[in-house]
Amino acid sequence: MRELNGPTLPRRSRRGAALLTAGAAVTATLLGVSTVPAHAVPTAAVATARSAAAPDISVANVKAHLNQLQSIATANGGNRAHGRSGYKASLDYVKGKLDAAGFTTTVQQFTSNGAVGYNLIADWPGGDADHIVFAGSHLDSVSRGAGINDNGSGSAGILEVALTVAKQGYKPDKHLRFAWWGAEELGLVGSQHYVRQLPATERRKIDAYLNFDMIGSPNPGYFVYDDDTRLEGVFKDFFATRNIQTEIETEGDGRSDHAPFKNAGVAVGGLFSGADYTKTASQAAKWGGTAGQPFDRCYHSSCDTTANINDTALDNNSDAIAHAVWTLSGGSTTPPGGKVFESKSAVAIPDAGPAVESPITVSGVPGNASAALKAGVDIKHSYRGDLVVDLVGPSNRSYRLKDSSSTDSAANVVATYTVNASAEPANGTWKLRVQDVAAQDTGSISGWKLTF
Ligand code: DTR
Ligand code: ZN
Ligand code: ZN
C-alpha cells in the first residue's frame, strides 16, 4: 500500500529527499516543459476504431459472484431452483449489480410446473438496435444443490463481462444484450418462453446468441459449440492465442438454452467445460486434469458448490466470452459523452500546512467512471515541488496525481492526469486535495475539471 501523503519536510533537507514513487494508474500530461517526472505507468492497449481489444475479465470478481450465489443457496434451503426462493434471490442479486452499472433491465415472468419463473434481460444502452449481440446463461440450479458450476459459472461469467462493458464505457457498434434464464433444468423453459414471445422482426435482429452453460468444471475440457462456423471460429481464435486446444461440443446439442434460438433460425455459439461424461487420456494430455474421471463429478449433485470450480477454466472462458462480445459487436472504447464538470473556485493552500480540498459534484453520468478519466488541474504556486496532489472519488478512495519533489523548483502545476477510476461511481462528489508539505512558497488552486 503506498503512503498517500508524503511527510512535511523543512526546505534544507529537501534536496536529497525526493518523494517520487511509481504512480498508481495515473499518467500526467504537463503543459509546457515538465521537470516533474510523469508517473511511469503502462498505457492501456489503445482500442482500434473498429474492433476494440477486449479487456481482461477479473476471475476474482467472477468468483465473488459465485460466492454470493453460494450464500444465497445456503440461505434458501440449499438450492437456487425454479420456483424456490433461492432462484428469485439469485435474480435479484444479478439485477442489482446491472441496475447500478447503468444497464436497462427487464424481468420476464412465466409459469412452469405450477410455479412462477423469471428471466432477466439486460440491455446496454446504445449500439445499432437492428444488430444485437446476445449472451445468455441459465441462472437456475437443480433442487439438489447450489448449482455453482451448473450454472452459476456461466451466469457469473456473463455478469462480470457485462459489468466490465460498463466499467470500460464500451460503445459498441452493435447493441449488446445479456440474459439470465429461468427453469432451464425443467427443459429450457425460460429461454423457450423468451423466443416464443419474441416477434419474428425482433428475432431477425439477433446477429448471434452465445450460450454459456458450465464454464468452470473441476476437471475441465474446452469445448466450443460448432452450430455456426463463424461463431465457432471467434472462440477458437481466442483459445489459439492462449495455446489451448479445443474440441467441438457434441454432448449438449439441444440440451441448453441455445436450442430455442437455433430452432428459430438464430446463429448460435457458446462454450462448455464438461459435465458427467468421462475425460479421456488424450483429453487429459492436452488439457491436464484426470483421465477416466468425469469433467464434473458433482453434476446435478449437492456437491456442486464453490469448491466445484476450476479457476483456470473459469478465467479462460470468461476472457473468451469478453473476446467474443467485443469482437462481434465492433465499436471502440471511448469515454462516454465527454461531459465536463468544472470548478473555478480559488482555494488558498497553506504553506507547509494541512491539505485543502476543492469539490466538484457530478450527476447524470451512468455507471462507473472510466478507466481513463481525465482530471485537469490549474494550481498557482511558486515552488511546485512542495505540492502533493490527489484526486478523491465519491467513494472517498484517493488517487495520487502528483508527489512532492525536492528537485522541482518550477512554478505552477497546470496538467491533465489520466486516472483509472473504473472502481468509482461517476455520480457524486469528487475532490481535488492539495497539500503543501514544505516550508516557504505559497499558492492556491485556481480551478480544476473532470471529463467523463
Ligand atoms: N448444463 C447442462 C446441460 C448441458 C449442456 N451441455 C451438456 C452436455 C452434457 C450434459 C449436459 C449438458 C444442464 O443444465 O443440465
Ligand atoms: Zn443442469
Ligand atoms: Zn446447465
H helical segments located in 186-292:
189-197, 200-203, 229-241, 258-263, 281-287
Instruction: State whether 234 and 361 are in the same domain.
Output: no
Residues 291 and 419 in one domain: no
Question: CA dist 167 to 62, 128, 401, Å?
Answer: 15, 20, 21
Torsion of CA 321, 101, 123, 258, to 10 degrees: 30
- Which of the two residues, 1 and 439, has the higher pLDDT score? 439
Q: Is any ligand 1 atom within 6 A of the Cβ of residue 214?
A: yes
What 3-state DSSP class applies to 92?
A: helix
pLDDT at 344: 85
Q: What pLDDT is stored for residue 332 in this prediction?
A: 53
Confidence class for position 331, pLDDT limits 50, 70, 90: low
For the CA of 154, the nearest ligand: 3
151 preceded by cis ω (within 30°)?
yes
Give the number of whichever ligand sits closest to the CA of residue 252. Answer: 1
Strand, coil or helix: what is 130? strand
Grid cell locating 429: 462528489
* pLDDT score for 365: 75
Confidence (pLDDT) at 40: 26
Cell numbers representing residue 188 in the block: 429450457
Write the CATH number for 365. Answer: 2.60.120.260
Domain total in the chain: 2
Does the pLDDT of residue 261 top 70, yes or no? yes
CA distance 268 to 31: 51
Query: What residues form DSSP beta bridges with 171?
Result: 332
Q: Is 140 in the pocket of ligand 1 (CB under 6 A)?
A: no
Confidence (pLDDT) at 337: 54
- Section 34-62 average pLDDT: 53
User: What pLDDT is stored for residue 368 in this prediction?
Assistant: 84
Positive/negative CA dihedral, 78, 84, 88, 91: positive
- Residue 202 among the catalytic residues: no
Spacing, Cα 370 to ligand 3 middle (Å): 34
Q: Is the pLDDT of residue 13 over 60?
A: no
The span from the CA of 387 to the CA of 385, in Å, is: 5
In whole angstroms, what is the distance from residue 411 CA to residue 421 CA? 28
**CA distance from start to end of the chain:** 27
- Judge whether 17 lies within some domain: no
Those residues whose C-beta lies under 8 Å from the C-beta of residue 114, and which sit 6 or more positions away, are: 83
Q: Across-strand partners of 425?
A: 368
For 288-303, what is each residue's pLDDT tens digit?
999 999 999 999 999 9
Boundary-marking domain end, from 329, 354, 387? 329
Q: Say how many Å lie between the CA of residue 67 and the centre of ligand 1.
A: 22
Grid coordinates standing for 436? 503543501
Ligand 1 centroid–CA 245 distance in Å is 21
Residues 280 and 345 in one domain: no
- 347 and 306, same structural domain? no
Question: Do residues 96 and 161 both lie within one domain?
Answer: yes
Strands (E), 78-114: 104-112
Q: Does residue 320 share a domain with residue 347?
A: no
Mean pLDDT of 26-44: 35
CATH number at residue 33: 3.40.630.10
In a domain, 56, yes or no: yes
Last residue of a domain, one of 268, 300, 329: 329
Q: State whether the beta carbon of 150 lies less than 6 angstroms from ligand 1.
A: yes
Q: Comparing 329 with 42, which gets the higher pLDDT?
A: 329
pLDDT attached to residue 435: 98
Give the closest residue (by CA) to ligand 1 atom 1.
213
Indicate if ligand 1 lies below 6 Å from the C-beta of 251.
yes
Q: Write down the pLDDT at residue 250.
A: 84
Atom of ligand 1 nearest to the CA of 184: 14
Residue 395: the pLDDT is: 94
For residues 348-364, average pLDDT = 93
pLDDT for 12 equals 37
pLDDT digits (tens, 9 = 90+) for 213-223: 999 999 999 99
* 1 lies in some domain: no
Q: Is residue 19 part of a domain?
A: no
Would you say the C-alpha torsion 305, 306, 308, 313 has a positive or negative sign?
Answer: positive
> From residue 318, how far is each of 84, 254, 301 by CA, in Å?
28, 23, 24
Nearest CA to ligand 1 atom 7: 252
* pLDDT tens digits for range 272-285: 999 999 999 999 99
Which residue blocks in 306-422 are alpha helix, DSSP H?
311-329
Ligand 2 centroid from CA 185, angstroms: 5
Q: Which of 226, 256, 268 to mutate to test the pocket of ligand 1 (most atoms within 8 A of CB)?
A: 256
Whether the pLDDT of residue 18 is over 60: the answer is no
Cβ(184) – ligand 1 distance below 6 Å: yes
Helix or strand holding residue 164 (H, E): helix 154-168
Structure letter (DSSP) for residue 305: S
Residue with CA closest to ligand 1 atom 11 = 252
Catalytic residue among 160, 184, 185, 424: 184
**Which mutation among 188, 213, 300 tests ligand 1's pocket best, with the greatest number of atoms within 8 A of CB?**
213
Query: Does the pLDDT of residue 25 top 70, yes or no?
Result: no
Cell of 287: 488439457
Cell numbers representing residue 220 in the block:
475441465
Q: Is there a single domain that holds both residue 233 and residue 310?
A: yes
Q: Which of 329, 349, 373 is the last residue of a domain?
A: 329
Q: What is the DSSP letter of 351?
A: T
Same-domain pairing of 172 and 292 = yes
C-alpha count within 13 angstroms, C-beta hemisphere, residue 75: 12
Residue 257 has pLDDT above 90, yes or no: yes
Pick from 83, 62, 84, 57: nearest CA to 72:
84
277 CA: nearest ligand 1 atom:
9
Clarify whether residues 355 and 414 are in a common domain: yes
Q: How far is CA 170 from the centre of its chain?
A: 11
Backbone φ and ψ of 314, nearest 5°:
-60, -40
Instruction: Please state the rounded mean pLDDT for residues 168-172.
Output: 93
Domain range enclosing 353:
340-451
The pLDDT-based confidence of 41 (bands split at 50, 70, 90) is very low
425 assigned to some structural domain: yes
* Type of residue numbered 27: T
- Domain check: are 132 and 273 in the same one? yes
50: in domain: yes
Instruction: Tell the residue nearest (CA) to atom 5 of ligand 1.
Output: 252
On whether both 54 and 132 belong to a single domain, the answer is: yes
Write down the pLDDT at residue 36. 29
- d(CA 287, CA 244) in angstroms, rounded, equals 8
pLDDT digits (tens, 9 = 90+) for 190-231: 999 999 999 999 999 999 999 999 999 999 999 999 999 999
Q: Which of 215, 251, 268 to mutate to test the pocket of ligand 1 (most atoms within 8 A of CB)?
A: 251
Q: What does the alpha-carbon distance between residue 232 and residue 404 come to, in Å, rounded to a whole number?
A: 53
Ligand 1 within 6 A of CB of 127: no
pLDDT in tens, 125-155: 999 999 999 999 999 999 999 999 999 999 9
Mean local confidence (pLDDT), 87-92: 98
Residues in contact with 350: Cβ distance below 8 Å, sequence separation at least 6, in sequence order? 356, 436, 442
User: So what's the pLDDT on residue 422?
Assistant: 85
pTM, full prediction:
0.67
Query: Is residue 50 predicted with pLDDT exceeding 70?
Result: no
Q: Compute the mean pLDDT over every residue in the chain, rounded to the nearest whole number.
A: 88
Q: Over pLDDT 70: what percentage of the chain? A: 87
Residue range 106-111: mean pLDDT, rounded:
98
- The arithmetic mean of pLDDT across residues 369-385, rounded, is 91
In a domain, 306, yes or no: yes
- Check whether residue 279 and residue 373 sit in a common domain: no
Per-residue model confidence as pLDDT tens digits over 53-68: 899 999 999 999 999 9
Burial of 126 (C-beta count, 10 Å sphere; 0-12/13-18/19+): middle
C-alpha of residue 352 to centroid of ligand 2, in Å? 64
Tell me: pLDDT of 86 over 50.
Answer: yes
Residue 252 lies in a domain: yes
Give the contacts of 402 (CB within 8 A, at least 6 positions apart).
Answer: 28, 36, 387, 388, 389, 413, 415, 417
pLDDT band at 367 (very low <50, low <70, confident <90, very high): confident
Q: Is the CB of 213 under 6 A from ligand 1?
A: yes
